């Protein structure tokens, strides 16, 4: 069964550094998402992306965050200048359009640690 | 606003016991979807079920069953004859569907219930 793939599984960075988290959604999917889970807390929506543009974003998704689909397969989340509070698990997800509200397929997550 | 409440923070049972995880939701939408996800210690989110708001039939899948009651805005999850491998954090979620966005799906998650099944 096709999977959403995320790399790296764990990223350690210093405060103030830029990080890029990478995701390869399922190939025929058209909607892409990033969610975040601070350790021990609930999973929170960050942003959804469709047709090469952001379709919705949360209050968390401020100017430090950006998303991009640089080619036909990758979907990236960039944090420009990381803060300690950005430490979290970041999940990428995707779903197709033809099946309205099909369940989100989540990747295994990237654990970001900001020191 | 959409909201999901999982009042049970942690539950501990002994293997073979049945356990029910509670989920109560709030929404003004007439059409919505409810979900359960499992997060094992390894950290990934494993999809368990999606339920349409128009379908109140209970569902059973092996040892798992779900009880959807619109009247009480609840979508509870029962594991029968629990096993050690069921130990995980379980999240209930509600879709916050923006119809104008087509198929875009934004999920609102509860805080999760940590289930520990002891041998």
pLDDT tens, residue by residue, B63-112: 999 999 999 999 999 999 999 999 999 999 998 665 444 555 789 999 99
Cβ contact (<8 Å) for B106 and A45? yes
Name every residue whose Cβ is closer than 8 Å to that of residue A72 and which is 6 or more positions away in sequence. Answer: none
Coil vs helix vs strand at A12: strand
With contact defined as beta carbons under 8 Å apart, do A58 and A46 qualify?
Answer: yes
Chain A nearest-CA distance from B119, in A, is: 24
Other Cβ atoms closer than 10 A to B90: 24
Higher pLDDT, B83 or B56: B83
Q: Give the residue, A70 or A1, on which the prediction is more confident.
A: A70
> d(Cα B8, Cα B10) in Å, to the nearest integer?
6
Interface check for B64 against chain A (CB to CB < 8 A): the answer is no
Q: Which residues of B touch A43 (CB under 8 A)?
A: 37, 45, 91, 93, 107, 109
Both tokens of B85, joined, read: 């491998």
State how far Cα A47 lies from the chain centre: 8
Q: What is the pLDDT of residue B21?
A: 98
DSSP codes of every residue in chain B: --EEE---SEEEEETT--EEE--EEE-S-SS-EEEEEEE-TT---EEEEEEETT----EEETTEEEEEEGGGTEEEEEESS--GGG-EEEEEEEE---GGGTT---EEE---EEEEEE-
pLDDT at B99: 45
- Average the pLDDT over A27-39 and give the result: 91
Residues of A in contact with B110 (CB under 8 A): 42
| Portion of chain A with pLDDT greater than 70, in percent | 93
Chain B residues inside the 8 Å CB shell of A87:
none
Top-confidence residue, A10 or A99:
A10
Mean pLDDT of B23-42: 92
Identify the residue with better confidence: B100 or A11.
A11
CB contact under 8 A, A55 and B107: no
Which residues from A are below 8 Å from B41, CB to CB? none
| Alpha carbon B119 to chain centroid, angstroms | 24
Q: How many angstroms away from the CA of A104 is the closest CA of chain B?
A: 8
What pLDDT is stored for residue B100 in this prediction?
41
* Beta-carbon separation of B104 and A99 below 8 A: no
Q: Which residues of B touch A99 (CB under 8 A)?
A: 103
Predicted pLDDT of residue B102 = 52
Give the residue-averaged pLDDT of A57-75. Answer: 92
**What pLDDT is stored for residue A98 in this prediction?**
57
Q: Is B47 on the interface with A (CB under 8 A)?
A: yes
Q: What is the mean pLDDT of chain A?
A: 91
Question: Per-residue pLDDT averaged across B44-48, rounded?
Answer: 92
């Amino acid at each position: 069964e096709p999977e959403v793939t995320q790399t790296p599984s764990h990223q350690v960075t210093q405060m103030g550094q830029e990080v890029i988290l990478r995701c390869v959604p399922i190939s025929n999917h058209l909607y892409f998402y990033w969610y975040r889970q601070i350790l021990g807390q609930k999973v929170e929506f960050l942003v959804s992306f469709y047709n090469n543009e952001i379709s919705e974003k949360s209050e968390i998704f401020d100017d430090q965050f950006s998303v991009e689909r640089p080619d036909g397969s990758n979907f990236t989340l960039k944090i420009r200048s990381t803060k300690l509070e950005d430490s979290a698990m970041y999940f990428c997800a995707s779903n197709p359009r033809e099946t309205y509200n099909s369940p989100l397929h989540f990747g295994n997550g990237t654990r970001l640690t900001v020191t | 606003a959409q909201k999901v409440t999982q009042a049970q923070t942690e539950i501990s049972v002994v293997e073979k016991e049945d356990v029910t995880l509670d989920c109560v939701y709030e929404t003004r939408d007439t059409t919505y979807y409810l979900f359960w996800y499992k997060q094992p210690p390894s950290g990934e989110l494993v999809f368990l079920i999606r339920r349409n708001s128009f379908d109140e039939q209970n569902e059973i899948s092996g040892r798992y069953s779900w009880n959807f009651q619109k009247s009480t805005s609840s979508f509870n999850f029962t594991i029968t004859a629990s096993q050690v491998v069921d130990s995980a954090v379980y999240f209930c979620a509600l879709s916050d569907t923006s119809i104008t966005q087509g198929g875009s799906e934004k999920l609102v998650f509860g805080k999760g219930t940590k289930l520990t099944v002891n041998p």
